A and B are shown apart, each in its own frame.
Chain A
Amino acid sequence: MALAMYGRIFDDAESEQAVLQKLFSPTRQAINVARVYNAKERKLQVEAQSRGDSAQQDVSPAFLLEINKIYDDVFRVIAQRQEQAPAEQRNEDQFCLFTDQDAPHPIKDSEYVPIALQGGKPSPAEDGTSLELDEDELQIAQPEEADEIVPAEAAVYEEERAAAQNGPAAVPIQAHLIPEEEELDVEAPAEEILTAASETGEGEKPRFGYGSLEAESEAKTEPAAQAQADAAGEEPNIFERQLTLDGVIAPERQDSARPADPIPMETVRKPRVFLLILYTLIAIPVTLFGLALLLIPTALCLILAAGVIAAGVSALVAAFSSGLTPFANILLVLGTALVVLALGLLFLWLFVWLIFGGMGGLIRGVVNLGRKWCYREVSV
């Protein structure tokens, strides 16, 4: 990645010496990029991308932003130097396709001119995305006076034209084919370029890195998939570009209409050993003391329940076996027995609740508290 970055910077730069002065140390810049590269985070992002998580697709990795920052800084300095340089220093012998009258002509999106014929330097703002020109569009690039083209440039032009005619319907044109308008925008600050790109929906697109290589791979492997994606008006983001480049996923477009599934993150609970030992040493006596305190009302409820239920059963038996003659007295004993049995049932339930709700809840609470304090979840 870093090597591709330097290759693109030196290829796009007009003066390699100026680039070297700006970089100061290419190794140092590479270290800066490596510092912001988080392998674990990148792995999670790649996994999320492979699972089709749309939230992760829109996030640019930090190292890519760092590379873009270096790229913008270098060419901003170069653009400033070019702005300070007098216009008279332009090489008069250099071939230029367009005259001065053509300069303010607002170029359209489809009007791309091969830089080899234009004679200017390539624009750093172009990310090398494969631009496909059909034969009609290539007519724009044809010189009005073909006899004035130097032989080397004419050979390049003829090679491209032959490829356009003999190959597939379109010719993938790399970074050396740039719109004329973007060459003028090089002098703009990097923030303005980023703002303009974000307004046109290209904010997530890296300026370089994946661009040229990915464009080559797309042109070689899946032109149909790219055409389908372009027809749908979708722009593959940087993760798809890298995954395509790395061969992790197939070059065809991911199904963006698929709903984003939540990522099942596998976590492992790891104990904090010292805290766990300390908590165990404290929690066990406290829990035992709480259980002992709860045993008192529990036993009291059990005794009361047993006594009251026994009294109720005795009254119930006595109501029918004691020889009470008027039925009104039997009803009195029967009503009393029912009330006593109801109280006995209530005490019995209190006993059960104190055992399972009180003591069990105390133990469960202590265990859950220890699980919360003494364990941490680590994603695998």
Chain B
Amino acid sequence: MKKAWSVVGTIVLVMILLGGICIAVGYVTGGSTEAVLTRMEARYHLSVYFDAYLHWFQDLIARLVALWPAA
């Protein structure tokens, strides 16, 4: 189990390191976050999914608070 932990941890660290390098290189070479979000919103409607998730999360928190006896 320890060996599996080390293997998985190494893979995760390598992927995060590679992702960080890619992001850094993208920013260095003139990348723009706003341009990417605009393109993704236009193609995949990310704001709809984000609003739906935010609504579900707020509803869940409200239910949990209602279940609390002191409340």
A-side interface mostly:
helix
Segment from A176-184, A249-257, A326-334, A364-372 that makes contact with B? A326-334
Considering only residues 1-52 of chain B, those with a C-beta below 8 Å from chain A are 1, 4-5, 8, 11-13, 15-16, 18-33, 35-36, 39-40, 43-44
Shortest distance between the CB of B38 and any CB in chain A (Å): 10
A29 within 8 A of B: no
Chain A residues bordering chain B, tally (CB within 8 A): 28
Bound CA–CA A337/B4 (angstroms):
23
| Most chain A CB atoms below 10 A, which of B5, B15, B24 | B15
**Do A329 and B12 touch (CB < 8 A)?**
no
Taking CB atoms, residues of chain A closer than 8 Å to B30 are 326, 328
**Do A338 and B8 touch (CB < 8 A)?**
no
Given A318-B40, A327-B29, A329-B32: A345 touches B12 (CB 8 Å cut-off): yes
**Do B27 and A337 touch (CB < 8 A)?**
no
Taking CB atoms, residues of chain A closer than 8 Å to B23 are 331-332, 335-336, 339
Given A323-B39, A342-B16: A349 touches B8 (CB 8 Å cut-off): yes
Across the interface, B11 reaches (CB within 8 A) one of A324, A327, A339, A345, namely: A345
**Which bucket holds chain B's interface residue count?**
20 to 34
Bound CA–CA A184/B16 (angstroms):
96
B18's closest neighbor in chain A, by CB? A338
Taking CB atoms, residues of chain A closer than 8 Å to B26 are 328-332, 334-335
Bound CA–CA A327/B22 (angstroms):
11
Shortest distance between the CB of B8 and any CB in chain A (Å): 4
What per-residue 1/0 map shows which CB atoms of A296-332 lie under 8 Å from chain B? Answer: 0000000000000000001000100011101111111
A203 within 8 A of B: no
Taking CB atoms, residues of chain B closer than 8 Å to A353 are 1, 4-5
Bound CA–CA A339/B25 (angstroms):
15
Across the interface, B19 reaches (CB within 8 A) one of A314, A318, A337, A357, namely: A337
Bound CA–CA A336/B19 (angstroms):
6
Bound CA–CA A345/B10 (angstroms):
11
**Do A339 and B40 touch (CB < 8 A)?**
no
**Do B1 and A331 touch (CB < 8 A)?**
no
Task: List 22 interface pairs A-B (beta carbons < 8 Å), by A numbering.
Answer: A318-B44, A322-B43, A324-B35, A326-B30, A328-B30, A328-B31, A331-B23, A331-B26, A331-B29, A332-B22, A332-B27, A332-B36, A334-B22, A335-B19, A336-B23, A338-B18, A339-B19, A342-B12, A345-B12, A346-B8, A353-B1, A356-B1
Known pairs A335-B23, A339-B16 / 19 extra A-B pairs, C-beta < 8 Å: A314-B44, A324-B39, A326-B29, A328-B25, A329-B39, A332-B33, A332-B36, A334-B26, A335-B19, A335-B26, A338-B15, A338-B18, A339-B19, A342-B15, A342-B19, A343-B12, A345-B12, A346-B12, A349-B5
State the 10 A-B residue pairs at the shortest beta-carbon distance, nearest first: A335-B22, A328-B31, A338-B19, A331-B26, A335-B23, A342-B15, A339-B19, A332-B26, A328-B29, A335-B19
